[in-house]
Every structure is written in C-alpha cells, then in structure tokens.
Structure 1
Amino acid sequence: MQSYLRDLGLLRDRRFALLVSARTIAVLGSAFAPVALAFGVLGLPGATASTLSAVLTAEAVPMIALTLFGGVLADRLPRTSVLMAGDFLMATGYLALAAMLLTGWTPLPALCAAAAFSGVATAIAFPAFTGIIPEVVPVDRLQAGNALIGLGANAARVLGAVLGGGAVVLLGGGWALIVSGAMFTTAGLLIAMMRMKPDTAPEPRRRHSVVADLRDGWREFASRQWIWVVVAQFSLIVMAIQAGHGVLGPLLAKETLGGPAAWSAFLAGEAVGTIVGVLIAMRLRPRRPILMGVLLCLPVALPYVLLGLDAPLWAIVIGAFVLGVCFDVFGVLWQTTMQREIPGESLSRVSAYDMLGSLMFGPIGLVLAGRAAEWFGTEESLLGCAVIVVLSTLAALLSPGVRNLKAPAGEPVS
C-alpha cells in the first residue's frame, strides 16, 4: 500500500496532474464520439452503412497518412503546443459534425471533411503525448507515471462506453458530439495551463527538411532490434484483434451467444482487465521488460480460443479480462522502455513509426474477417486469429534484442 501511495504522490506535481487530467478527459471525449457519430450518421435520411463507412474512412486515412509528419512536428516544436493543437482540432471536427447533424445540413463531402479533422488530430497528438511524458515525469518514476495515466484513461473508456450510449439515447448523436467537442476543448485548455519549465523542453536542434527528419527517426527506430521486431509482431496481432473484435466476435455473439448483451459482457470483462492491468503494472519491475511484455502477448489468444471452441459465456468473459490485463501491462512496459531508451529529441518520431507499423495491417483484418467467416466458419476463423497471435509472439521471442534488453541498473526488480 505504501508503494501505491508513493506512486500516487506524483499527482502532487501540478504539471503531471494537469497532463493526467487532460488525457483522462480527452479519452472520455473519444469514448463518447464513436457511438454518437455512428448513430448520428445512420439516423440521417437516406443514410446507409456505406455512408458511415465513407465518414469513418475519411477519419482513418489522414490519421495513417500524417502520423509520421506528426512525429516530426512533435520533435521540432514544444510538445504542449502540439498536444493543444491536436485537442482543439479534435474539438473542431466533432463540433462541426454536431452542427451539421443538428441543423440537418449534411452533404457527405462536408461530413467527411469534418471527420478528417479527427484523423489529423490523432496523427499529430499521439506522438507528442508519448514524447511529453519524460519531460514531466522523473526518469526513475516513468513506469508509475505511465501507469497512472493509463489508469485514468482506462477508467474514462469504461465510463465513456456507458455514458456515451446513454447520451445518444437521451440527447441524440448531435448533442452527444457537442459533449465530445467540449471535452476535447477542456483537455486542450488543461494542456495550455501546464507551462513547461525551460529545462524540461527538448533542446533546440538544427532544422532539417521533413524528409531528413524522417530519415533520422527511421535510423533510431531501425537500429534497435527490439523495437522493430515487436512492432512487426504487433502489426499481425492488431490485424487479428481487428478481425476478432471488429467482425468475428460480434458475429459469433449474434449467432450463438445471445446477441449484443453477450458481446457487451465480453467488452466489459476486457475493460475491467485493463484497469487491473494498470494497477499491476504500477508495481511490476521486471529485469527484462520487453521479454516479459512479449510473453504477456501469448494469453491475448485466450478469448479467441474460447470463442472458437464455443466455451460458455462466463469463461469467454474471463478470457477477455485476461486479455485486458495482459495488454495493459504490456503497454506500460513498452511505453516506459521506449521513453528510457530513445533520446528525447527523437522520441516522437520513433513513436510515430511504432504507431504506423503497429496499425498498418488492421484494416486488412477487417476486410478479411468477413470472407474468412464465409469460407471457413466463424469459430474456425476465431481460432485462426488465436494462431496468428501465438505464432507472431513466438517469432518475436526468437529475437536476441527482445530477450536480452534489461532495465537500467538500480531499478527495483520484480
């Protein structure tokens, strides 16, 4: 208990408390938005699934296309400024969508343009957020800091999933999007209040072209075997998760488990697991953090195995809980190790390569999932997702860089 209280003491630092608050409120806003956007668009006269697909694609394309540019931006400029810009851009996009839904002026190109603001905001904010944490948290407290930020974010996701659906039912999609926009505006204002000290800002460096900056970031990324191996592993794991969570799991829930209520129980179990995982990660200090993180990816296959074997719902929910725990412990170990090992002036660019590489096969998983269910069956396809998770993890364990990277000397060891 004393150790947890010591970690909570980080919140006495004004800048860290503001960062945690901003992140928690932003995640709460982002948890509101998907439900509000989906039902708001589908409720438009003449709207179809293709209409929603077009809007979501307009959001996703700039996020992927501009991620690397976001990393360059966050390594060149004060990261508080970049984070503020991301939050305010997100608010602008959601408020514009809300205005269109509430006024009834909803041409598809305008909806797509407003949605694109969200994708641009994510592309520039994520690398900046990863890079700003070491500027605020002492190096020997990074893991506790990452865990506390994750705890607030995961609690916000759970709360947002509950409140978001209720807000759409009670207020409608347009008003729920206004709530999301207000939350991102609040998050941006909290970041503005951080007022970073001069000695915490990145050291000024000679300006190069964007291409040269990207090339330097790639060198930092590619020179560390443990980074590119785990990113390659996660490109496949995310593909499997997108297929399993996005299509195959809900499809099986509809076919055999009882419908939306069963899938909601699955997601609730996973959400509770993410909170427990963060609490574990606050105290876990492995000697080889990346090795432990990769090993924790093996149980991620468990819920897909249980779904594929037609296990009872209670067992499947427990499997989802295990997935949530393992994923969040991995996330804290991964973020902390990157922040310790990567020079601060390159951290956001390396984080951008990490994000791009990890997510690049996700859309393929969504596209292939429906075909796989038709060709092989839903249960068999879920077992295939589990196989992808296990094989990609075992392949990553072959890397000496993954197995041998050690935590800094003097760190407490679990």
Structure 2
Amino acid sequence: MTKPGVRALIRDRRYRMFWLGQATSTLGNQVTVVVLPALVVPTRGAGMFGLLLAVESAVMGVLLLLGGVVADRYSRSLLMAVADVFRIIGVGGFLLFASHGPVAPLLIAAALTGAGAALYEPAHRAALAQVVSEELRPQANAFDASTKRVGGLIGALLAGVLLSGVSPPRTLLIDLATFAISLVTLIWLRLPRIRLTADVPEQGLRAVFTEARTGLVEVRRRPWVAAVMLQGTAQVFFLFGPNYVLVPMVSQQRYGIEAFGWVSAATFVGSVVGSVLGAKITSPRPGLWAMNALAPCLMTPVCLALDVPLWGFCAAVATSSVGVGCFMVLWYSSLQNEFPNHVQGRVFALEALASFGLQPIGLAAAPLLVELMGFTPFAVLAVIVLLTSTYAVLAVPGAVQLAAPKGEDNVGQGAALTANT
C-alpha cells in the first residue's frame, strides 16, 4: 500500500487553513525579532533589550504547563486564537513604548508575548495531530518545521529591507497584520475540544496541578519518552543553547560581520532539507534513524574550536541542521501517534520544558565557560555529552521504535473520545 504523500496533505482544506495561519504568524514573529532591538537599543540601551527577552522567556517557562493543561481542556484552535490576541496586545505595547515612555507597560508587553507563546506552542502541536490523520503526520510535521525556517528567513529579510527605508514602528505593523490573518484562520477552523466520554473538568488551581501531574504520569509510563526528553535537556544545555550564542560570535570574529548571514542561510537550508528527509523515513526503527541524524551535530562545536574556512563552517552548521530537522519530524510524529489526543497538550508542554527549560542558563553560561575552559575543551565536552546522551537512550525499551514495546498497553489509548473531528 502506498503511503499518502504531500499532495494528500495539501488537498486537505483544514490543513491548508491551519498552515496558512502558522506561516503568516511565523513570518510576523521574525519581523518583530529583527525590529525590536532597532526600536529599543538606540534609546533605552542593550540592557533593556536583554531584560525584555528575559521577561518574555521567564513568563513563557512559568506558564507552559498551564498552557498544556488548558490545551487539553478547551478547543485548541480557540486557545491559539487567544494566544494571538495576547501577542497582538504585546506587539502593540512594543509599538507604543519600546522607544520612549514608562518602562512598566513595556515589560507588561514582553510578559504578554511570553504568555501568548506559552499558550500557543502546546496547543499548536496537539492541534496538528487533530487536524491531520496519523499517516499524514510526518509530512505535516515536516511542513511545519520547514515553514518555520523559511518563514523566519523571509521575515528577517523582509524586516531588513523595510528597515532600510521605513521606520521601525511602521515595520512592526506587519506583525500585527500577520496575527490578524492567523486569527481569521483559527476562527474558521473551530476545532472541537478533545475530552473523555465522562470527563467533567474540575475547576481551580488544584485541578490545574492535578491535570499537569496526569501528563507527567503519562510520560513516566513510557520510559523511552522520558529518556529522550532528558536527552534534550542535556543537549540544549551543553550544545544547542551555547551554539545559539557562540556561532554568531565566532563567525563574526573569525570571518567578518557579513559572515553570519551565510551561516544563517546554511542553517535554514539544512533545517528544511532535514525536515523533508524526516518525512520520507518509513523504517520500523525510526528512533535509530533519529539518533543517527543527531550524531553529525558534533561538527558544529568541532568547527567552533578549529579555524576552518567559512565554507567549512557553513557546511558544518548545515549538516547539524539537517540532523536536527530530521530528528524533530520523527520525534514529534511519534509523540502525536503514541499519546491519546486528550493529553497531548500537556505532553508537548512537558517536552518544551524539558528541551528548553535550561536554555536561558546555557545561553548565559556559554561565553563564561568558553572563557574559563577555552574553545577546545568546551568543544570536547559538548561532543562527549552529545554522543553519550544520543546513543544511551537507545538502551531504553521503545526508544529504537519511538513507540511502546509490543505487548505493552498504552494507558489511555483505548479510552473513548467524543470529538467532532
């Protein structure tokens, strides 16, 4: 039997609308990423810009689990629409207060964008599994990853072009317009909430913690999922988080200020290629493919330590991005297939916390560690952590298949669902 392909995905009207909203939102977000420092730094200084990023990241981290609980209680498209409203208000606050005026509204704007992201991310991952059938999820996840990379690249280029001839506040209006488009698509989509047959949600803060704990229990019942999540924690802290700081720093110091543009382009291209490759893998052992895809990521810290030519540096980051893109498609598809739909919001919230909870610390610590240890010892440490954490998880039952071992009953998989999907 032939596996459904991309054409089947594109013919799905609901997926097209879902994709359109996500694509426009991604483009607009990247415009804000480029424009915000141009608004804040000249008048308020780099310290204020860093504080805004810290507030946004902190609020997102604190509210992620709540976002997962809410995504499993209510319509995920409605929750994504609410998240867009939060971010519209936040971007509006940047527009009004980024350059001048009181600081408090500016910090509130950053908190609102962080809260919007915390609500949006778990709902988005879980909603994708609700929109498309199981056999189309690898293609949908590949499209999702590629859209984020391509949309981010187009948004950055668009912002750069507009900033050369248009004022930063007017350029920021593009983000507001993209959120409006996203809102329209989500309101049209109107996904029903996923619920158990006899499910009547409790109310109050205690109920939120109870439901969050239920998501944690679901993950603990699948040790291979917990193992891969812990793997992500280690790798983000020692490798991917530091790379986020060190790659632009080294590329500019070693090759010139314009070099990071080439490095960024190589990263985007590699991610798209990796996502496409991940969607094409049909092996009964996708976990082995996913871990082998991550292994070449060691090339980036090696090239940070060695004085390679620019083309070699670009090749290294592109290869790493291919591996990450491939891994993400296989990983997200496995989670969407493994867990009952009514707990996926909480599962993806836990996945985001595990993968990126330590990233801010890694970002802050990387330059200090490099200064203390030197690039070569730090690169050796990163390579050891990468290879050890990548292949150690394969010893956990289920990790090779990215699925529960045969004969084990997934709790909740057989529960009756009432959803007009």
Partner of 1:23 in structure 2? 22
Give 1:275's aligned amino acid: V
Question: Partner of 1:7 in structure 2?
Answer: 6
3-state DSSP of counterpart to 2:258? helix
Cross-structure match for 1:271: 268
Alignment of 1:227-238 (within 5 A): 227-238=225-236
1:134 to 117, 129, 134: 129
- TM-score normalized with structure 1 length: 0.90
Instruction: Kindly indicate whether the alpha-carbon contact (under 8 Å) linking 2:73 and 2:194 is maintained by their aligned counterparts in 1.
Output: no
Structure 2 counterpart of 1:219, from 206, 213, 217: 217
Question: How far apart in 2 are the matches of 1:33 and 1:293?
Answer: 32
Q: What's the offset of the Cα at 1:149?
A: 2.5
TM-aligned CA deviation for residue 33 of structure 1:
1.3
Native 8 Å contact 1:248 1:378 kept in 2: no
Q: 2:63 aligns with which of 38, 52, 66?
A: 66
Contact 1:310 1:379 in 2 (8 A): no
The answer to which of 371-380 and 290-299 deviates more is 371-380
Q: Deviations over 1:246-267 (max 9, x none)?
A: 3222232233222x32222111
* Cross-structure match for 2:411: none
Change (3 A) 1:155 1:329: same
Once the two structures are superposed, what CA deviation does each residue of 1:202-227 show, in whole Å capped at 9, x if it has no partner? 44622131111111111011111111
Post-superposition shift, 1:156?
A: 0.7
Return the offset for 1:84. Answer: 0.6
Measure how far apart 1:390 and its partner are: 2.2
**Which of 376, 386, 390 is matched with 1:389 structurally?**
386
Deviates more, 1:283-292 or 1:398-407: 398-407
- Structure 1 segment 114-263 matched on structure 2, within 5 A: 114-196=109-191, 201-203=194-196, 205-208=199-202, 209-258=207-256, 260-263=257-260
User: Does structure 1 residue 90 correspond to structure 2 residue 61?
Assistant: no
Q: How has the CA–CA distance of structure 1 residues 107 and 387 changed in structure 2, closer, same or farther, with 3 Å as cutoff?
A: farther
Q: How many residues align structurally? A: 400
Shift in CA distance, 402/53, structure 1 to aligned 2, threshold 3 Å: same
In the TM superposition, residue 366 of structure 1 has moved relative to its aligned partner by: 1.4
TM-score scaled by length of structure 2: 0.89
Match of 1:326 among 318, 323, 328: 323
Please report how far the alpha carbon of residue 237 of structure 1 lies from its aligned counterpart in structure 2 after TM superposition: 1.4
Matched to 1:232, the amino acid is L
The secondary structure found in structure 1 opposite 2:189 is coil
C-alpha deviation, 1:38, in angstroms: 1.6
Partner of 1:412: none
DSSP-derived class of the 1:346 partner: helix
The answer to whether the 8 A contact 1:143-1:332 is kept is yes
Assess if the C-alpha contact under 8 Å between 1:252 and 1:379 holds in 2: no
Closer, same or farther in 2 for the Cα pair 1:95/1:242, shift >3 Å?
A: farther
* Superposition deviation, residue 408 in structure 1: 11
Once residues 191 and 404 of structure 1 are traced to their aligned partners in structure 2, the CA distance between those partners, rounded to angstroms, is 34
Change (3 A) 1:106 1:381: farther
Residue 62 of structure 1: how far off its partner (Å): 0.9
How many angstroms apart in 1 are the aligned matches of 2:173 and 2:294?
37
Give the match for residue 362 of structure 2: 365
Q: CA RMSD in A?
A: 2.2
The unaligned stretches of length 5 or more in structure 2 are: 407-421
Distance 2:405 2:28 in 1: 36
Query: Do 2:397 and 2:405's aligned partners in 1 also have CA atoms closer than 8 Å?
Result: no
Distance 1:226 1:177 in 2: 43
SS at match of 2:342: coil
Aligned equivalents of 1:223 and 1:408: distance in 2? 12
Deviation at 1:17, TM superposition (A): 0.4
Does residue 108 (structure 1) correspond to residue 107 (structure 2)? The answer is no
User: Which deviations, in whole Å up to 9, do the C-alpha atoms of 1:68-96 show, x marking residues without a partner?
Assistant: 00000000001111011111211221122
